C-alpha cells in the first residue's frame, strides 16, 4: 500500500513538473489591443455586426478585417475613439 502511494506521488510530481515546464515553453502572449477595443465597444454582444459578440468584433477590428461602422449600437464618439486607438497602436 505504501509503495503504491509513493509511486503515485512520484508520478504526480514528474507530470506536474512536465506541465509546469511546458507552460513556460509554449506560452502564447495575447494581444492586449483586443481587450482595449472590447472595452471601448458598447458591450451589448448583439451580433449586429456579423461577429460573435463584441470580443469577436474587436478581434476583427484589430486584425483589420472589419470596419468600426459595422457596430450599429455604438455612438459616434465611441467609433472615433476606437479609430484613434487603432491608429495609434
Query: Please, what CATH class does the domain formed by 32-88 belong to?
Result: mainly alpha
The whole-number pLDDT of residue 47 equals 87
pTM assigned to the model: 0.69
The confidence score (pLDDT) of residue 29 equals 87
How many whole angstroms separate alpha carbon 51 and alpha carbon 49?
6
Give the residue among 15, 12, 54 at the shortest CA–CA distance from 37: 54
Averaged pLDDT of the chain: 93
For residue 81, the model assigns a pLDDT of: 95
pLDDT score of 41: 94
| Spans of all domains in the chain | 32-88
Return the pLDDT at 79.
94
| DSSP class of 29 | -
CB 71 within 8 Å of CB 48? yes
Q: Which three cell numbers stand for residue 57?
A: 468584433
Low-confidence residues in the chain, pLDDT < 70? none
Amino acid at each position: 500500500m505504501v509503495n503504491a502511494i509513493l509511486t503515485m506521488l512520484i508520478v504526480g510530481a514528474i507530470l506536474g513538473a512536465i506541465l509546469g515546464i511546458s507552460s513556460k515553453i509554449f506560452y502564447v502572449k495575447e494581444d492586449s489591443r483586443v481587450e482595449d477595443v472590447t472595452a471601448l465597444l458598447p458591450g451589448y454582444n448583439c451580433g449586429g455586426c456579423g461577429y460573435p459578440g463584441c470580443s469577436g468584433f474587436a478581434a476583427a477590428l484589430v486584425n483589420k478585417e472589419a470596419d468600426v461602422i459595422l457596430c450599429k449600437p455604438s455612438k459616434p464618439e465611441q467609433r472615433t475613439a476606437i479609430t484613434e486607438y487603432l491608429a495609434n497602436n
